Structure 1
Amino acid sequence: MKGIRAGLAVVFVALAALTGCATPQPPVAMDQAFWAEKQDRIGIAITEIPAPSVQMTGQQGLLDIAVNKGMASGLTKKVESWDSTSLRGLQQKVAERLQAQGYTVKLLDKPYDFKDFKKAERKLGYAELDMTPLKAQEGIDKVVLLMLGVNGTTRSYYGMIPTSDPVSLVTMVTTVVDLDDNRLIYFQPSAVSRAAEGEWDESPEYPNLTNAFYKALDEAEQKMLLPFDAQQLSSN
């Protein structure tokens, strides 16, 4: 349980860095008008997927960090060999779900970076960055932005003392923006954290922790696809 709490602590830091938000934006439920406006063209973008990494949280001095990194070098080597690039397929899978419901979609070719956008006037319920130029640039009315954050493992420490076991972690944000006014039609930051089933410290391969990571990846993908699944439309 401590490991999962440590993982969730990393989530908030990671998502703040990912979205550029100083003031947290609460989740925004899908605007039901989205499903009625089938005449609109929807762009689907995805950010670059960070390589898996080892995160260390908690109160640590510089010496503590150096020692902890040294002690975790074997795990770090293994985590850095993990592959999270399967999430690149999310863009196409979202497109297929929307096309099956009769929407016209456009895949935006490049992985989108927040540097591509200027800061907008900060208002809750609106995107932190001004994405409205995409309307003219890409010929779209709305954009689905799939944002992938920190992934790998996280572990908490007090100084040089671990206070949790490492757990797998995948963070992500799913956003839908109306490009007429930069309004958030949908906004959901989330994370998946999974502990190893059984002993985690089986170096050098760490099979149980590795298995937990790939299960977390699969669960993260399903979370990001869920808002666009056909069953979500049945009550509309």
Structure 2
Amino acid sequence: MNYLQRVLAILAVVLLSGCAAKPIEITENYWTDSPQKTIAIAFVKPPAMGAHRSGAQGLLDMAINEAVTDTVQGHISTLNYDSFDKGSSYLVSHIEEKGAVAFVLPDYYESDEGDKLPKDSVKEGFFEYDLAKFKELYSDATHLLVIQAKAAGTIRDYYGFIPLSSPRGYLYADVIMVDVSNNKIDLRQTIVEQVELTSNAAWDDPENGFPEISKIVEKALLNGRDRIIKLL
């Protein structure tokens, strides 16, 4: 892994810790405060999409459900996040309309051991990673916007191995904005999107490549994209 990859890989571990953090909203005058902000936008490498399940399930139930949903799971795992992260120009345009400068960091990277600050030195509301290397590479950036899709695909309710609902398009993502001058978190929000199938949609259609499933997954990604814009 080269130096640039190492620095960007640090971003991939930013939002992987398990405990939920308190949400933070940006202030009303965030974009009009002086001086002008320069936002570096970083997308963390997302996991493969899947057919997620909610509800009470034992180990045997899980094994049965995995076997039954194997075909649709295979299809969902081939879907991509392009409309969520590859079309990131939508974020650049939106931020620049606010009067700031924005650019997207190249590609996204696998998680790696980052430069995590000592726990006792990190205050509530502050970023827990040392951004010194990032600032060396991107000295013009005043803020870092990190976006991580933690899970996507579909989600379906179960009781044991009995499905209680049809699949829904699903996205679970975290968004965080950091002031790189002092590691203060200016924005921290979680996005959860679920999209219902249209009425009477025949989703279990392997012969045609599960088109209805693809539609609701895509819609969840687009909804997530819109949510990020509203957060900013």
**TM-score normalised according to structure 1 size:** 0.77
1:210 to partner: Cα distance = 2.8
1:116 to partner: Cα distance = 5.8
1:192 aligns with 2:189: no
Q: 1:87 to 1:22 in 2, by over 3 A?
A: closer
The residue number in structure 1 matching 2:3 is none
Structure 2, unaligned stretches of length 5 or more?
Answer: 1-12
Distance in 2 between the 1:206 and 1:49 partners? Answer: 22
More helix by share: 1
1:132 to partner: Cα distance = 4.9
The residue number in structure 2 matching 1:125 is 125
Alignment of 1:128-207 (within 5 A): 128-139=128-139, 140-197=141-198, 198-204=200-206, 205-207=209-211
SS in 2 for 1:119: coil
Q: Per-residue CA shift, 1:21-45, capped at 9, x if unaligned?
A: 3432121111345311343432111
Q: 1:159 to 1:181 in 2, by over 3 A?
A: same
Percent identity over paired residues: 21
Identify which range, 71-80 or 169-178, moves more after superposition: 71-80
RMSD over aligned CA atoms reads 2.6
Alignment of 1:94-133 (within 5 A): 94-115=91-112, 117-120=114-117, 121=119, 122-133=122-133
Conserved 8 A contact 1:38-1:102:
no
Conserved 8 A contact 1:169-1:216:
yes
Alignment of 1:64-75 (within 5 A): 64-75=61-72
Distance in 2 between the 1:152 and 1:18 partners? Answer: 22
Conserved 8 A contact 1:38-1:104:
no
Q: Per-residue CA shift, 1:80-132, capped at 9, x if unaligned?
A: 23332222235322122223343233332241555263333354312243335
Distance in 1 between the 2:158 and 2:107 partners? Answer: 38
Letter in 1 for 2:25: A
Letter in 2 for 1:141: T
Structure 1, unaligned stretches of length 5 or more?
Answer: 1-16, 229-236
Conserved 8 A contact 1:117-1:131:
no
Distance in 2 between the 1:30 and 1:67 partners? Answer: 45
